[in-house]
Amino acid sequence: MEIRELKTGMVLQEDAYTPSGSQLILPKGTVLDDQRIARLAFYGVKSVNAMTREEAASLILDAPATKKATAAVKAAAAPPTDVPPKQVQVPPPATAKTAMEALGGKQVTPFEPPKVTPTAPAAPARPARPAPAPAAPPREPSYSERLRNSPEFKKFKMDFEDTFISYQRSINEIVRGDKEIDTHQLIAPVYDLIHTCYGPSNVFDMLHALRSYDDATYVHSVNVALIAHTIGEWMHLPEEDLELLTEAGLLHDIGKIMVPHEIVNKKEPLTGDERVKMRMHPQLGYRVLERKNVDQHIKNTVLMHHERCDGSGYPRHLTMEKIDPVARVIAIADVYDAMTSERVYRKALSPFYAFEMIERDGLQKYDPHPLMAFLENLSGAYIGNRVRLDDGSEGEIIYINRQRYSRPTVRTGPNTFVDLIEHPEIKITELI
């Protein structure tokens, strides 16, 4: 049953896991309510095995094993019949006297077999036990593993899920026209998340540890709000501009809610017609907010976050000077999160792969000011992180090459270093 078909009161008939199968979300037998249904959607679950309570009860009562067990209980409880027990004549035990009489009164010496002293068989020679192999030294947990087990991350994860559920409810009410936008109420949960982090770079650590979520709209929008706020901090913007970036991040993709679900979450490449419908989401979102009491910069961002400074974006092919400055920051946060998050059609990409794609497009497509603040600070935050290379080796990032942020130097052994600028054939596939 698809998630959108679920109703409160239904019962899960199987355990519900994340799409990757790595994490249990809700166990079998859970009675669903609005919050649990939203939790399933939050993790990107598309369908589950669920029934109403009445259907589940009927299924149990009609099961063959249940009928067989019921019949067995009835048979065991049946009263015994009145058939008398059969009488059996048991002869008296033989005595020593009657046994002698049977032998004609003669004394018989019983036969005794010759005594044989058993000899123990020779024990087979045991093969020499091989010496135990020396135990491999325990691998020190990586930074990402330590982070996922930390109390700080566990709190961040719980708060993130609460933020997602609150945001999803608010956005759906805004799209339906049931609710005016209270900007302070909208961004307050995101600020609570920011305050649980130790600093701007820690926001990315937390988001990287949450990358198992597959959601192209709601989770993505919360991520973009966090990333945009962080870029603004690195740019040393005033607090009112940081709030504007946070709100713009939350609302930038509001138009996707009106794009058919099967297009937004399609695994296969979109057809030409489907691509046209998907590219309508900036205009659709702008129409939702056009008459709402929100800042004009936010309305512009909803319409312009897919524009590029060289005029190659959509929907209006604007160039840099005509693109709202807030939209230019959101464009960077949007494309980075889209590439480093899981999607129905691919796994999450490495942050360094995202850096490479952004470097390839370079300063032609993105505003240099927020772009350089983003690349300089985020790449530096990954120094000390363990990574896996596409040749199978693992190592630690020890140096960021300012000429190419996507090509750091990695220490793969005590005295072995790989400068990825000098080895363009090698790439970082993931943080570990």
Given pLDDT bands bounded at 50, 70 and 90, which one contains residue 301? very high
Residue 90: predicted pLDDT: 45
**111 φ/ψ angles, rounded to the nearest 5 degrees:** -75, 135
Is residue 184 within 8 Å of residue 246, measured between CB atoms?
no
pTM exceeds 0.75, yes or no: no
- The owner of tokens 């996707």 is 256
Cα-based angle 335, 326, 366 (whole degrees, multiple of 5): 45
Residue 199: predicted pLDDT: 78
Question: What domains sit in the chain, N to C, each tagged with a CATH number?
Answer: 3-58 (3.90.105), 143-349 (1.10.3210.10)
| Residue type at position 149 | N
Is residue 268 within 8 Å of residue 345, measured between CB atoms?
yes
Residue range 65-84: mean pLDDT, rounded: 52
Question: What does the pLDDT look like over 120-132, one tens digit per residue?
Answer: 555 555 545 444 4
| Closest listed residue to residue 246, CA positions, set 159, 333, 317, 318 | 333
| Residue type at position 140 | E
The answer to which of 193-202, 270-279, 314-323, 330-339 has the lowest mean pLDDT is: 193-202
